Chain A
Amino acid sequence: MRSPSSSLVPLLFLSSIFISVFASEQLQQPFQFGEMSAPMYTLPPLPYAYNALEPHISAQIMELHHSKHHQTYITNLNAALKAQAEAVHTSDITTQVSLQQAIRFNAGGHINHSLFWQNLCPAKSADAMSSSAPQLVKQIKATWGDEEKFRDAFKASLLGIQGSGWGWLVKIEGGKEPRLVIATTKDQDPVVGKGEVPIFGVDMWEHAYYLQYLNGKAAYVENIWNVINWKTAEERYLGSQADAFKILKASL
């Protein structure tokens, strides 16, 4: 889908077989240095079935979104990291700089989607009730007055995004008390700033809703609240940034 893309997959696959067979003879090759020093990310499994979020998000959307879109970010991220490792090895600084945007975009896509799958759950699950996040809800009420006002502010932020992007509830650490903010990000920019802990995110790319909601994105933004995983949100709220990003280590 995105730039260099899927043709790299079989190549990487073949070369890894090649390495496992001939590893002892090939270790000194620069090509292998690049390949072996770059991490390879894999698609994290969804913590529920593709149809588990229906009727709020259709199984068709979930399957394409997870198995195609998220996979493509990972494929392109791995290719960019491999190219970067080679550029580091050959001290090619111009190539390293030129790879930055591809790494930011595709790593952002991987980070955002990994967090997103975890912060959703089936509507009938107890985790989908905000009562599963007592501490977080207390802070939401302290910040926005009540849950309804918070949801309205979050929805307005989501609908104000011009183009592709995400809306996040973010905990900001560093002051006397951690505080909560609603943040929108463009394209696949991730929430990774110092002291920022993403609590939950909503994907506002059209591929996240279009097959079901078409141009009616307000209905998607309304229905998504039925499948927010408040238990995960509470854990992220009480945890650190590193805790929130554990899933990324697990997909290496």
Chain B
Amino acid sequence: MSAILRTSALRSALRASAPTVSTRAGLAGTTFVRGKATLPDLPYDYGALEPAISGKIMELHHSKHHQTYVTSFNNASEQLADARQREDIQAQIVLQPLINFHGGGHINHTLFWENLAPTSQGGGEPPKGALSKAINDSYGSLDAFKEKFNAALAGIQGSGWAWLVQDTQTESVQIKTYANQDPVVGQFRPILGIDAWEHAYYLQYQNRKAEYFKAVWDVVNWKAAEKRFK
């Protein structure tokens, strides 16, 4: 496992110094090698989202925090497979929160990197087409939507995420917040997520998180969001 992760981290480091345009959508970036989750490459440089998000934040966030979720998810998965083999139901249940937390952390960050982009690669350009219409139908305008989204982010008590999600039953879009690393699964489809954990902004914004929530829209990749919207 460690060899695979090392290779993945190396690829990531190489890619990070030679940015490419991401054409991935959905969870295509969540890569699995021989059953193991690996850290996906960032589709841009660590410094490419400045000044909205500093290069130092991006580097720690991707190479340390996301990597830890990947490593811990693989550990938990391995233990879960063992517990299944042993038909140890208690052990399987004990592992569920770890799968949810670390698997959720891996899914959330993978989607997050994809739904951000430097301004030179379309970051901040407003959504078009069906997604734009759905947002206008639900919120009146993009600006009104952003205001509601930022209020949702500010209202998170503790660590968590805010998402624009699509209800798979009604196909309408709505804003939902999730605690810690709870992923968007089940009835809702993730369209656009913003990380409200303190590690996502603290080195640059400290306690002034409202400034981060305001600035992050300059680097939102609405093209990635459009691809997730059905």
Contacts and interface: CB of A to CB of B under 8 A. Distances in A.
A211 B207 contact: no
Given A163-B181, A206-B197, A211 B203 contact: yes
Given A1-B207, A163-B159, A163-B160, A206 B199 contact: yes
A213 to B, nearest CB: 11
Interface string B80-121: 000000000000000001000100000000000000000000
Contacts of B202: 206-207, 210-211
A205 B158 CA distance: 8
B10 interface: no
Interface in A81-126: 101, 105
Nearest to A165: B158
B186 interface: no
Given A164-B158, A164-B159, A188-B157, A214 B207 contact: no
A162 interface: yes
Interface stretch (B44-52, B60-68, B124-132): B60-68
**A contact residues, range:** 20 to 34
B154 A3 contact: yes
Contacts, number: 65
Nearest to B200: A206
A159 to B, nearest CB: 11
Nearest to B98: A162
Nearest to A3: B155
A105 B68 contact: no
Contacts of B141: none
Contacts of A186: 158
A72 B199 contact: no
A215 B65 contact: yes
Contacts of B157: 2, 101, 105, 187-188
Interface in B187-225: 197-199, 202-203, 206-210
B179 interface: yes
A2 B155 CA distance: 6
A221 B101 CA distance: 21
Contacts of B207: 1, 64, 68-69, 72, 207
B158 A215 contact: no
Contacts of B209: 1
Given A1-B207, A162-B101, A163-B181, A210 B198 contact: yes
Given A1-B210, A211-B202, A163 B158 contact: yes
Contacts of B197: 163, 206
B174 interface: no
B174 to A, nearest CB: 19
A214 B202 CA distance: 10
Interface in A161-197: 162-165, 186-188
Contact of A210 (B158, B179, B180, B203): B203
A211 B180 CA distance: 20
B206 A68 contact: yes
Interface in B144-175: 151, 154-155, 157-160
B160 to A, nearest CB: 7
A188 B210 contact: no
B198 A206 contact: yes
A163 B155 contact: no
A27 B159 CA distance: 43
A206 B158 CA distance: 10
B206 A214 contact: no
Contacts of A165: 158
Contacts of A206: 159, 197-199, 202
A163 B180 contact: yes
A215 B202 CA distance: 12
User: Which of B68, B101, B157, B203 is most buried by chain A, counting CB atoms within 10 A of its CB?
Assistant: B157
Interface of A: 1-3, 64, 68-69, 72, 101, 105, 162-165, 186-188, 205-207, 210-211, 214-215
30 contacts: A1-B208, A2-B155, A3-B154, A3-B155, A64-B206, A64-B207, A72-B207, A101-B157, A105-B157, A162-B97, A162-B180, A163-B158, A163-B159, A163-B181, A164-B158, A164-B198, A165-B158, A187-B157, A188-B157, A205-B198, A206-B198, A206-B202, A210-B198, A211-B203, A211-B206, A214-B60, A214-B64, A215-B64, A215-B68, A215-B199
